[in-house]
């Protein structure tokens, strides 16, 4: 064995096999370890009611994080999802409220009308960002930062700075209903996850996403329409932000203009913790789901232990930095 090979075998990862195990199963092992520690720390953690609560808390961030995964896989970022959550929530709620002052003329409309409007608003926001990024070559950070501010302003303008209360029971069912004792938001998260997994792993579009994120210049040479693909991933992220916004409004019973603040940070954290590289082209939707669960379990466990939410932000920041450091180490082959 050469000196170089010997140094590599003594590196942090050890051997190639150990490195492969960590890359493939590290996130699952981390999630299991966290769950075990919290189950011993608090007797209520593994109760059925608390597990259901964790899944409900995770559902909205999980939907956002899945959309964020599509964007980050193409070397992009979407900082606007939290503001789009607020905008879509308040617009769709105005079609599903019994309030005479907060509703659109003719409200309340059937729930499918409100849901369709919410998705369309989210898609429109994503399309604007996608157009700016793909056609005008504006960095995604700048384009989505602009949408973050614009969508928040439109939310305040549309609702007059006031919440939209008194949502109809039919609309609220998507956030509070159950099917076979499974909460509806969890079911919707599962559907979104399955569709996203199929798209990324079983379709040409999914292969193109990885190709663009891995090497955009080679993707162009291969005949992939990179501009169109980048446009579409922001549309997907916007549409899922719309769904998340309606889930949040339906769960709380009213749409708040300040909803969704800092939600983009949780979504990015779930994606990065789940192993998706910020450099693009590397990541799995399964890892994103586990990353969202880790954040949900961590927040829930710390709440049960009586630890203030401020510490949760510190731990979340440390997790993000640690995950990015590991990603950089893998990219450098260390």
pLDDT one-digit tens code per residue, 62-109: 999 999 999 999 999 999 999 999 999 999 999 999 999 999 989 999
Band the pLDDT of 139: cuts 50, 70, 90: very high
Q: Which residues face 37 on adjacent strands?
A: none
C-alpha closest to that of 244 among 100, 29, 78: 78
3-state SS track over 189-210: HHHHHHHHHHHHHHCHHHHHHH
Specify the range with the lowest mean pLDDT, choosing from 17-26, 28-37, 179-188. Answer: 17-26
Peptide bond into 108 cis (omega under 30): yes
pLDDT at 9: 47
pLDDT one-digit tens code per residue, 297-324: 999 988 888 888 788 788 878 888 887 7
Global confidence as pTM: 0.92
C-alpha closest to that of 304 among 58, 49, 63: 49
pLDDT one-digit tens code per residue, 148-177: 999 999 999 999 999 999 999 999 999 999
């Amino acid at each position: 064995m050469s000196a170089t090979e010997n140094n590599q075998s003594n590196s942090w990862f050890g051997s190639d096999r150990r490195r492969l195990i960590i890359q493939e199963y590290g996130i699952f092992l981390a999630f299991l370890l966290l769950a075990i520690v919290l189950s011993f720390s608090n007797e209520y953690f593994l109760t059925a009611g608390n597990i259901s609560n964790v899944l409900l808390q995770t559902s909205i961030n999980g939907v956002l994080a899945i959309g964020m995964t599509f964007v980050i896989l193409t070397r992009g970022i979407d900082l606007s999802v939290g503001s789009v959550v607020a905008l879509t929530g308040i617009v769709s709620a105005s079609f599903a409220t019994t309030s005479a002052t907060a509703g659109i003329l003719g409200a309340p409309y059937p729930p499918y009308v409100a849901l369709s409007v919410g998705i369309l608003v989210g898609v429109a926001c994503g399309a604007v960002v996608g157009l700016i990024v793909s056609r005008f070559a504006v960095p995604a950070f700048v384009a989505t930062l602009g949408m973050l501010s614009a969508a928040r302003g439109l939310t305040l303008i549309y609702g007059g700075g006031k919440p939209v209360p008194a949502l109809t029971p039919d609309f609220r069912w998507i956030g509070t209903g159950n099917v076979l004792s499974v909460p509806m938001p969890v079911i919707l998260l599962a559907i979104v996850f399955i569709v996203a997994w199929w798209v990324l792993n079983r379709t040409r579009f999914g292969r193109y996403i990885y190709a663009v994120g891995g090497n955009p210049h080679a993707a162009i040479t291969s005949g992939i329409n990179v501009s169109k693909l980048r446009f579409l991933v922001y549309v997907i992220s916007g549409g899922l932000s719309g769904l998340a916004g309606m889930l949040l409004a339906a769960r709380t019973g009213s749409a708040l203009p300040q909803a969704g603040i800092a939600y983009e940070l949780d979504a990015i954290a779930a994606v990065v913790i789940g192993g998706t590289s910020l450099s693009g082209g590397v990541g799995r939707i399964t890892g994103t789901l586990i990353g969202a669960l880790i954040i949900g379990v961590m927040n829930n466990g710390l709440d049960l232990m009586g630890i203030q939410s401020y510490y949760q932000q510190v731990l979340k920041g440390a997790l993000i930095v640690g995950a990015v450091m590991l990603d950089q180490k893998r990219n450098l082959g260390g």
